[in-house]
Amino acid sequence: MEQKKRRSLHIPGGTSILASLISIGVGLIVGLILLYALNAKAAGGAFISLITTGFRSSDKFAKVLYQAAPLIMTGLSVGFAFKTGLFNIGATGQYTVGAAFALIGAIQFQLPWYVCLLLSMIGGAIWGIFPGLFKALFNVNEVITSIMFNWIAMFAVNLTINNLPMMLAKYWGGAQMDRTANLAQANPGALIPRMGLDTLMKSNYMNISIFIAILFAILAWVILSKATFGYELKACGYNRNASIYAGITAKRNIVLSMVFAGAFAGVGGGLYFLAGTGQYTLLKQLLTAGFNGIPVALLATSNPIGTIFSAFFVSYIQVGGDAMQPDFVKEIIDIIISVIIYLAAFALLTRELLARGKQRREDEAEEAAAAEAKAALTADADADVVEVAADAATQEKDEVSKS
């Protein structure tokens, strides 16, 4: 089943885009129905703000872009690993370590932003190595390892920051005990440059992080579709036996794929916290951004370029959701957003349905097997996204309070 799932994750072509759009449409309709069910009077207006707020003003649009950047990175992380047949549920841990490396570089060592971003990449890559190594050397399922490493990352980072007094806001005259220093105070040079975009769009959130993220997406696309390295990675993901037969060192590729995935997620953490608008909070909770990378990658059907758009969509819907207050309470909004993202991530299933016609040419052996696998796949995808949705709902608040 594992193999079947991998296969269904990468069927190229126009059906992918169509499937993603259909899924988004279905998600929005169900969201609208939910709104009516909860508060019929305010539903129409709320829905309009949900789907228009992001474009309504330049500062809201800036917020969309600001949130989309780290999502692109975690989406790339998950999608890249998918292409090699690995499920990187550890994007959160890699994101956290990346964030910590960036912040320590910025505050403790007073380094400039680009060095900090490089550090975040290294931090994430290091955190990606472990699940990769365990998988390659001992065939330990990467899902288990990376979930463990999510928690290890979180506690290790909290412990480290707690023991570096200079890191904390209090050291710099801030009031809060539980979060890192405000970068504007501690080291303005570590802030990601705004290049006048903030005044142009009248928003503190705006900086060049979205462009950096897009560059990384293009990089990932080039690696996967143009480079021999990507050819090897995908061969490993599609059919490990055949790649071994062709003399490709599958083990090395598994590790490298996780290193790349980790590096992408790490940069995501760097981009988010080096913006200066969010401070890392020492809570015993995993950061959501990493998990949100999963629906982003699914919605984009693991295509790096598609990831840019799907991250934008998820971010857009989050910003729009905030605008539904006070007609709807924050928790309800979280649920609705989760439902929309959840259904949107069904792109995979929708695409399988659309691809049916195409698939007919496959021999009937595959046909029947695929039907079996699809049932399992749906169940599987459900389980994953439910977890993500639940996380998103419970932790959305904290993320917001941090920023």
Partner 1 sequence: MNEYVIEMLNITKEFPGIRANDDITLRLRRGEIHALLGENGAGKSTLMSVLFGLYQPEKGVIKKDGEIVRIKNPNDANMLNIGMVHQHFKLVEVFTVLENIILGVEPNKMGFLQKKEARKKVLELSERYVLKIDPDALVEDISVGMQQRVEILKMLYRDNDILIFDEPTAVLTPQEIEELMHIMRSFAAEGKSILFITHKLNEIMAVADRCTVLRKGKCIGTVDVKDTDKAKLSRMMVGRDVEFIVSKDDAKPGETVLDVSHLTVPSKSHKNNAVKDVSFHVRAGEIVCLAGIEGNGQTECVYALTGLERPSAGTVKIKGEPIVLIGRKRNKQNAAELAKVKTILMPIRQRSKLGMSHIPEDRQKFGLVLDYTLEENLVLQRYWEPAFQKNGFIRKPSVRQYAEKLIKQYDIRSGQGPITTARSMSGGNQQKAIVARELDKNPELLIAVQPTRGLDVGAIEYIHKQLVAARDNGKAVFLVSLELDEVMNVSDRILVMYEGEIVGEFDPKATTVEELGLFMAGAKKQAVEGMVH
**322 three-class SS:** helix
Beta carbon nearer to partner 1, 202 or 252: 252
Verify binding: residue 363, partner 1, rule CB under 8 A: yes
Verify binding: residue 5, partner 1, rule CB under 8 A: no
Verify binding: residue 2, partner 1, rule CB under 8 A: no
Residue type, 343: L
Closest CA to 98 of 77, 70, 124: 124
Between the CA of residue 269 and those of 60, 119, 397, what are the distances in Å?
22, 11, 18
Site string for partner 1, 177-216 (x = CB under 8 A): ----------------------------------------
- How far the first Cα of the chain sits from its last, in Å, is 41
Distance CA 146, CA 153 (A): 10
In the complex, minimum distance from the CB of residue 6 to partner 1, in angstroms, rounded to a whole number: 9
CA neighbours closer than 13 Å in the CB half-sphere of residue 39: 15
Q: Which stretch binds partner 1 (CB under 8 A): 20-28, 42-50, 233-241, 325-333?
A: 233-241
In the complex, minimum distance from the CB of residue 149 to partner 1, in angstroms, rounded to a whole number: 29
Sole binder of partner 1 in the list 141, 231, 322, 382 (CB under 8 A): 231
* Complete DSSP assignment for 2-62: HHHHHHHT---SHHHHHHHHHHHHHHHHHHHHHHHHH-HHHHHHHHHHHHHHHHHSHHHHH
Beta carbon nearer to partner 1, 194 or 240: 240
The dihedral built from the CA positions of residue 366, 369, 375 and 377, taken in this order, carries a sign that is: negative
Q: Which stretch binds partner 1 (CB under 8 A): 87-95, 117-125, 225-233, 254-262?
A: 225-233
In the complex, minimum distance from the CB of residue 368 to partner 1, in angstroms, rounded to a whole number: 6
Sole binder of partner 1 in the list 367, 376, 379, 397 (CB under 8 A): 367
In the complex, minimum distance from the CB of residue 229 to partner 1, in angstroms, rounded to a whole number: 6
Beta carbon nearer to partner 1, 284 or 361: 361
Longest dimension (CA), the chain: 69
Verify binding: residue 251, partner 1, rule CB under 8 A: no
Verify binding: residue 368, partner 1, rule CB under 8 A: yes
Verify binding: residue 275, partner 1, rule CB under 8 A: no
Verify binding: residue 14, partner 1, rule CB under 8 A: no
CA neighbours closer than 13 Å in the CB half-sphere of residue 315: 26
In the complex, minimum distance from the CB of residue 365 to partner 1, in angstroms, rounded to a whole number: 4
In the complex, minimum distance from the CB of residue 73 to partner 1, in angstroms, rounded to a whole number: 23
Distance CA 129, CA 138 (A): 14
**361 three-class SS:** coil
Sole binder of partner 1 in the list 118, 214, 244, 390 (CB under 8 A): 244
Verify binding: residue 376, partner 1, rule CB under 8 A: no
Please name every residue paired with 180 in a beta bridge, in sequence order, or none if there are none: 168
Distance CA 336, CA 306 (A): 23
- Residues of the shown chain interacting with partner 1 in the complex, contacts defined by CB under 8 A: 7, 10-11, 226-229, 231, 234-235, 238-239, 241-249, 360-369
